[in-house]
Amino acid sequence: MRKTGSKGMELPSLWEKARKLIGPEKGVVHLATAAVLNAVWDLWAKQEGKPLWKLLVDMDPRMLLSCIDFRYITDVLTEEEAYGILQKGQIGKKERERQMLMHGYPAYTTSCAWLGYSDDTLKQLCTEALQDGWTRFKVKVGADLQDDIRRCRLIRNMIGPEKTLMMDANQRWDVPEAIEWMSKLAEFKPLWIEEPTSPDDILGHATISKALVPLGIGVATGEQCHNRVIFKQLLQAKALQFLQIDSCRLGSVNENLSVLLMAKKFEIPVCPHAGGVGLCELVQHLIIFDFISVSASLKNRMCEYVDHLHEHFRYPVTIKKASYMPPKDAGYSTEMKEESVKKHQYPDGEVWKKLLAAQNN
């Protein structure tokens, strides 16, 4: 799309300018692409009368592959290789679909151990989660080593040695610091350390991974990965043991499909990022599809769950026995309640009016 100036010169559109300034397939342009295309997928699934995961599961492999852009990744995954993966995934697919409908996809909770929670709050939330059947827990770390040691010991003592514990540093450390810090936390047997350093530092993640694997600690990352190319390099560099897709950071369902297929090629488990705010509603479809049609495995696989803001969605996630139950409503589960949208519209929504009034006072 181009506009012609008054002197007959072609001027780049705002979209093209943004793409050149920010870079292809990253930044705000890529996020906007994800929003638009995710909405298209929602409409497609509604048109077919199916939840998105079922639309993907039922789709002919060639049709599915036509939705994927293989540019920049053919050195690790060609379209024909992807077709072979999907064809192999046809074997036992009906049985895996019945398994999902009956038991759901395993989840882990991030809601018990945010940084800043008091010990009493942490104990209360862990106790409630255990009573609700949760067996996989993630704790935030990275602010203070001694505090991390104390909090991790508290959590590990509460959940016992048999349950799964993960740690998340949210990009806190330099590479040597990450290795040293996690060496001190290894006694608590974490399955992984998530985002130990800059999400853009592929070689840094590889260095951390090489150092921590002998300690039994994997590296997990992906929620901030710009695109499929970053994931490709993380896989090539053996920089992660757990791959964390995000339903909105990548360019919608289309690009997530390519990453799921690459992960299968490298036999790396996918454990999606789903930090609330509607991400759980979205990514559940992708990971259920992954199990049924791509990975065919639940080994070391689980999907994040955070228990807030679900009340704003018309089709919120259903968690039973610490598992995501497959959505049955048509679409991508993205539709928000009209009253929630109205309250939060800027600047005339009720929530914004109160905030702006408070600022003026």
Residue 353 lies in a domain: no
Q: Out of 140, 232, 285, 310, pick the active-site residue.
A: 140
Is-contact 301 100, C-beta < 8 A?
no
Range with the poorest average pLDDT among 17-21, 93-97, 137-141, 247-251: 17-21
Q: What is the CATH number of the domain that holds 113?
A: 3.20.20.120
Q: Strand, coil or helix: what is 355?
A: helix
Nearby residues of 132 by Cβ (< 8 Å), 6 or more positions away? 322
Amino acid at 246: D
276 sits in the region (left: phi over 0; alpha: psi -120 to 50; else beta) called: left
pTM for this prediction: 0.93
Residue 180 lies in a domain: yes
Amino acid at 112: C
Residue 171 lies in a domain: yes
Domain that holds residue 261: 87-340
Residue 152 lies in a domain: yes
Residue 306 lies in a domain: yes
Closest CA to 136 of 191, 182, 193, 184: 191
Torsion angle of C-alpha atoms 168, 209, 271, 307, degrees rounded to 10 = 0
**Domains held by the chain: number:** 1
Residue 110 lies in a domain: yes
Model pLDDT for residues 75-128, shown as the tens digit of each residue:
999 999 999 999 999 999 999 999 999 999 999 999 999 999 999 999 999 999
DSSP string, 68-128: ---TTTTTT--HHHHHHHHHHTTTTHHHHHHHHHHH-EEEEEEEEE-TT--HHHHHHHHHH
Residue 53 lies in a domain: no
Q: Out of 232, 273, 285, 310, pick the active-site residue.
A: 273
Residue 17 lies in a domain: no
ω into 347 cis (within 30 of 0): yes
Model pLDDT for residues 310-360, shown as the tens digit of each residue:
999 999 999 999 999 999 999 999 999 999 999 999 999 999 999 999 988
**Is 140 considered catalytic here?**
yes
Q: Output the six-digit token pair for 283.
A: 């990514």
**Is 308 considered catalytic here?**
no
Give me the phi and psi of 104, to 5 degrees please.
80, 180
Report CA torsion sign: 306, 310, 316, 321. Answer: positive
pLDDT for the residue 14: 61
Report CA torsion sign: 280, 283, 285, 288. Answer: negative
Model pLDDT for residues 151-180, shown as the tens digit of each residue:
999 999 999 999 999 999 999 999 999 999
Rounded to whole angstroms, how far apart are CA atoms 310 and 178?
33
